[in-house]
Amino acid sequence: MSETTAPDVPARSGSDPAEPCPAPALTPLVTVARTGSTNSDLIEALARDPRDAQRRWPHLSALRAVHQTAGRGRAGRSWITPGQEALTLSVVLRPLVPADRLPWLPLVAGLAVRDALSRVLTAEGSTWTAWTKWPNDVLLLPPDQAPAEEIAGWGRARKVGGLLTEVAHPAHCAPTAPTAPTQRPVSRDEAAAVVLGIGLNVGQERAGLPVSWAGSLALAGVHLRPQDLLAPLAVALAARTAQWERDDGDPGAPLLGDLRAACLTLGQTVHVEMPGGDVAEGRALDLEPGLVVESSAGRRVVAAGDVIHMRNSPAHTPEG
């Protein structure tokens, strides 16, 4: 398999022909040297001709930019990705789950990214560990004995990456027979097309990171090129997506247990700022996939928001 430049995604400022072939799970993988946002490019390509896009951009196809100038995060945030120091990747997913189960996808995808980084850390002999932070961050945590500055809202953890999931083509708009929100799609052609954006800090040194709570694989003792992460990411995404599909989109006990165990937010006292200005504060108990927060006023489920980790509870013991 070789990488290509798809005709419906412009290769802005040229392509990167020297990149080696990654894991076969990302097929096709298109790499461009520079673009504004890989998520925006893919959403545009998928919306332009959904039927043609089913062929050009199947499940687990991907677009990578070596340099991204207008990356988009949750709540409309933007950033610039430095070339050769970070991985910027958008993956098309067409999950065979009911549409009303799609809110689980950011957590399932985050777990897959965490899985991939855990394997890389272990293979490279690093003693750091990878975690998720609700709703869409991936963190690295140094071992207890390692010196690390405590940063308000983050503790000793450092953000190494973030995810953004966007439904590019809902299932009920599929060019084939429409699928009810509670019905599992019969085929990928009937499934919603979702674009998963992944941004990972790989080679940056401390001076090259934008905020004090950011980290990189290099600072955790892992010295790889961004493209070296493509294979473990592909394997992990394929595995976790398939596991989620086997559960019909409602995580069974093994997957839900892994989601809980990987989430550093659970068991902590948190301050959550929600869209619209509402605030929730209390102990993070569980994932539904919204964050279950318990305070003196009772329990509530937060669907979206910015989470600040205020302090650890006595143990990381999310409810079962």
- In terms of domains, do 198 and 296 share one? no
Can you tell me whether residue 116 is helix, strand or coil? helix
pLDDT in the model for residue 267: 96
Last residue of a domain, one of 239, 261, 283: 261
Higher pLDDT, 115 or 210: 115
Measured distance CA(141)–CA(155) in Å, rounded: 9
Tens-digit pLDDT profile for residues 171-190: 766 656 556 889 999 999 99
Looking at residue 51, what is its pLDDT? Answer: 86
Per-residue pLDDT at 84: 73
Which H/E stretch holds residue 132? strand 129-133
Lookup: tokens for 184: 């599992």
Give the pLDDT of residue 319.
44
Contact assessment for residue 149 and residue 206, using Cβ atoms and an 8 Å cutoff? no
Residue spans of beta strands (DSSP E) within the chain = 29-35, 61-72, 78-81, 86-93, 129-133, 137-141, 158-169, 193-201, 268-273, 279-287, 291-295, 298-302, 306-312
Indicate which CATH number applies to the domain containing 304.
2.30.30
Q: Are residues 41 and 188 in the same domain?
A: yes
Q: What is the pLDDT of residue 284?
A: 98
Does 317 fall in a domain? no
Give how many domains the chain has, as a whole number: 2
Of the two residues 230 and 3, the one the predictor is more confident about is 230
Q: Does residue 23 sit within a domain?
A: no
pTM value surpassing 0.75: yes
Q: pLDDT tens for residues 269-306?
A: 999 999 988 999 999 999 999 999 999 999 999 999 99
Co-location of 140 and 276 in the same domain: no
250 in any annotated domain: yes
Retrieve residue 277's tokens: 């200005």
Q: What is the dihedral of CA 46, 51, 55, 59, to 10 degrees?
A: 60
Q: Looking at the structure, do residues 178 and 281 belong to the same domain, yes or no?
A: no
CATH of the domain at 111: 3.30.930.10
Pick the residue with more confidence: 24 or 199? 199
The overall average pLDDT reported for the chain is 87
Predicted confidence at residue 175, as pLDDT, reads 59
Question: By mean pLDDT, which of 87-96, 102-111, 112-121, 273-282 is the weakest?
Answer: 273-282
Q: Is residue 137 part of a domain?
A: yes
What is the model's pLDDT at position 83? Answer: 60
Cα separation of 267 and 106, whole Å? 20
Task: Clarify whether residues 228 and 283 are in a common domain.
Answer: no
User: What's the rounded mean pLDDT across residues 1-22?
Assistant: 41
Predicted local confidence at residue 145, as pLDDT:
84
Asked if residue 105 is part of any domain, the answer here is: yes
283 and 221 share one domain: no
Q: Kindly state whether residue 298 falls inside one of the protein's structural domains.
A: yes
Per the listing, tokens 């930019």 go with: 65
pLDDT exceeds cutoff 50 at 108: yes
Domain containing 148: what range?
29-261
Q: Shortest CA distance to 3 belongs to which of 86, 113, 15?
A: 15
**What distance in Å separates the CA atoms of residue 261 and residue 257, rounded to the nearest whole number?**
6
Distance, in Å, from the CA atom of 289 to the CA atom of 301, rounded to the nearest integer, reads 9
Residues 40-85 pLDDT 10s: 999 999 998 888 999 999 999 999 999 988 766 554 555 556 667 9
Q: What is the pLDDT of residues 131-148, one digit of tens each?
A: 999 999 999 999 998 888
Give yes or no: residues 42 and 176 share one domain: yes
Task: Specify whether 114 is located in the same domain as 183.
Answer: yes
In-domain check, residue 215: yes
**Inside any domain, residue 47:** yes
Q: Quick one: 37 and 174 in the same domain?
A: yes
Q: Both 278 and 208 in a single domain?
A: no
Which stretches does DSSP call E strand in 170-225? 193-201
pLDDT for residue 11: 38
